[in-house]
Amino acid sequence: MKFFHLSDLHIGKQLNHYNLRDDQVFILNQLVEKSKELRPDAIVIAGDIYDKSIPSAEAVTVFDDFLTKISQIQPSIPVFIIAGNHDSAERLDFANSILAKHNVFIAGLPPRDKDEYLKKITLNDEFGEVDFYLLPFLKPGYVRHLFEDGDITSYDDAVRKIIERENIDYSKRNVLVSHQFFTFKDLKPETCDSEISLISVGGLDNVDVSAVKDFDYVALGHIHGPQKIGYEHIRYTGTLLKYSVSERNHNKSFTVVNMQNKNDAIKIEQIKLKPLRDLRLEEGLLEEIISRATKDNKDDYVSVILKDEIDQYKPKDQLENVYSHILEIRVDNSRTRSKLEASSEEIEIDNPVTAFEKFFFDMQSREMTEDERKAIVEIVSHIKESE
């Protein structure tokens, strides 16, 4: 069983003030060609199809065109899609019954009633069945009503309980598709600036991978850099494009997973993609940066850091004469550094749970009990859910 693992398409995203439509169409067309070439048995998209919960008509058209091209490949390739935290679960679920007849299976919402369960699709190959479980992005409040009062107090609880109620037969081959912030004990995935809003203060969003380790493969979305988390078979595949300067050194790719017998090692390969335009950081003297412009790189997305100690004549105009997609221009020299040091001090901001623990100790002259701390974590989690 060979399948593509994709995630975080963020269709409709803008990079600073630049519309990325052409870049996204270019990269999605590469995926179509790779699908024709490698003939996967399925394509898995682990959430964040769109960059906004209410995507533009242009963004919807881009994704529709991609699915249409995939559906035209014969023999037909099933596509499995879950909602991410950027998606509107209800909008993504629209017409899912009709799409399923065309081999496009969408799970926008987690189970809402006690007789509802995760969407499961079973495929067959020469080694038998493979069950794909689609677990869209969820918060504790989405599923708390399905369980006894007090059972769900965290994201970790929510994911564990939802999976446990499936009563999965782990003697078979099983794949989970999920879009959460997974951690391995105290180890967190490597993140970048474009994900800063995803990371919860205090780790309230964390789900430990022990909740999903019994699956044969876990296809994750949410994190923009490809990486395993705890185990080789639990992986973030990352974005197809660079969405911040902090991602400039990423080699963007998608994951190809090849499963054979239940007890055979899974083969995992990253297939690199070539963007329409790269995203780079240019740092140095103005004259040096201008001299580095070439026919091949002048249309890249470029973030500029000027090191000149002497003010240059209209540096923005000079740069725009050679680079067509400048994201930002910053100055970093001895004067700007001294001003920054004189006007600011490093401020350490505690997460809300730690801050309350300190406040509690100051007021009560004792540490919080485990039950008291659990109550505060639950309160902060409730507040975050309502944001």
Of 30, 64, 39, 3, nearest to 219 (Cα)?
Answer: 3
pLDDT at 255: 97
* Cα separation, 4 vs 237, whole angstroms: 10
pLDDT at 338: 78
Q: Return the domain boundaries, the chain.
A: 2-272, 279-335, 347-386
Do 211 and 262 contact (CB within 8 A), yes or no? Answer: no
Cβ-Cβ contacts under 8 Å for 161 (sequence gap 6 or more)? 143, 146, 147, 151, 152
Of 141, 77, 148, nearest to 109 (Cα)?
Answer: 141
Cα-flanking dihedrals φ and ψ of residue 257, to 5°? -110, 130
* Cα separation, 118 vs 343, whole angstroms: 53
pLDDT at 350: 61
Q: How many C-beta atoms lie closer than 10 Å to residue 288's C-beta?
A: 13
Do 76 and 38 contact (CB within 8 A), yes or no? Answer: no
> Which structure tokens are listed for 257?
């997973």
Token look-up 């519309």 returns 19
Of 194, 166, 193, 198, nearest to 182 (Cα)?
Answer: 198
SS3 readout for the chain: CEEEEECCCCECCEECCEECHHHHHHHHHHHHHHHHHHCCCEEEEECCCECCCCCCHHHHHHHHHHHHHHHCCCCCCCEEEECCCCCCHHHHHCCHHHHHCCCEEEECCCCCCCCCCCEEEEEEECCEEEEEEEECCCCHHHHHHHCCCCCCCCHHHHHHHHHHCCCCCCCCEEEEEEECEEEECCECCCCCHHHHHHCCHHHCCEEEHHHCCCCCEEEEECCCCCEEECEEEEEECCCCCCCCHHHCCCCCEEEEEECCCCCCCCEEEEEECCCCCCEEEEEECHHHHHHCCCCCCCCCEEEEEECCCCCCCCHHHHHHCCCCEEEEEEECCHHHHHHHHHHCCCCCCCCHHHHHHHHHHHHHCCCCCHHHHHHHHHHHHHHHHCC
Do 120 and 104 contact (CB within 8 A), yes or no? Answer: no
Report the CATH number of the 2-272 domain: 3.60.21.10
Do 202 and 186 contact (CB within 8 A), yes or no? Answer: no
Of 73, 92, 64, 102, nearest to 4 (Cα)?
Answer: 73
| Angle at CA of residue 305, ends 302 and 309, nearest 5° | 150
pLDDT at 371: 77
- What residues in the chain have per-residue pLDDT under 50? 201
Do 324 and 299 contact (CB within 8 A), yes or no? Answer: yes
pLDDT at 62: 97
pLDDT at 195: 64
pLDDT at 200: 53
CA atoms within 13 Å, Cβ hemisphere of 46: 32
Cα-flanking dihedrals φ and ψ of residue 176, to 5°? -110, 135
